[in-house]
Amino acid sequence: MCGDAVMYDQGKIITGSPSYETIEAANSAAIITIDKVNQSASVVPNAGGRMKYKRTFHSSVILPDGSMFVSGGQVVRLPFNESQAQMTPELFLSNV
């Protein structure tokens, strides 16, 4: 499984586009909250909204305004292979 995770606030992680090998990537994002000591993290699927493009093996950077710059990756997870590369970057505005 390969996705991307970025901490955007204290105890708040946004993760997106998980995919298994040879399976098409998702364009969804989930919010993981890790704010309580010695307790399991809470996970809210699709709380972050959806990206414009499906991708896995991508890179993300949180910008000062809270948006996320997402670039690279593949539509279908194929390690060490450039087929179905996702060349179009996007500015992802999460619902969080």
Note whether 45 and 28 are within 8 A (CB): yes
Question: How far is residue 5's CA from residue 62's CA, in Å, rounded to a whole number?
Answer: 10
Q: Which pLDDT value is given to residue 96?
A: 59
Q: Which pLDDT value is given to residue 89?
A: 93
Q: Digits of tens for pLDDT over the chain (96 positions)?
A: 567 888 888 888 888 766 677 788 888 888 889 988 888 888 887 766 788 888 888 888 888 888 889 898 888 888 888 888 888 999 987 765
Q: Which pLDDT value is given to residue 45?
A: 77
Question: Which domain covers residue 38, as residue numbers?
Answer: 2-92
Question: How far is residue 80's CA from residue 11's CA, in Å, rounded to a whole number?
Answer: 33
Q: Which pLDDT value is given to residue 39?
A: 86
Question: How far is residue 44's CA from residue 89's CA, in Å, rounded to a whole number?
Answer: 25
Structural domain count of the chain: 1
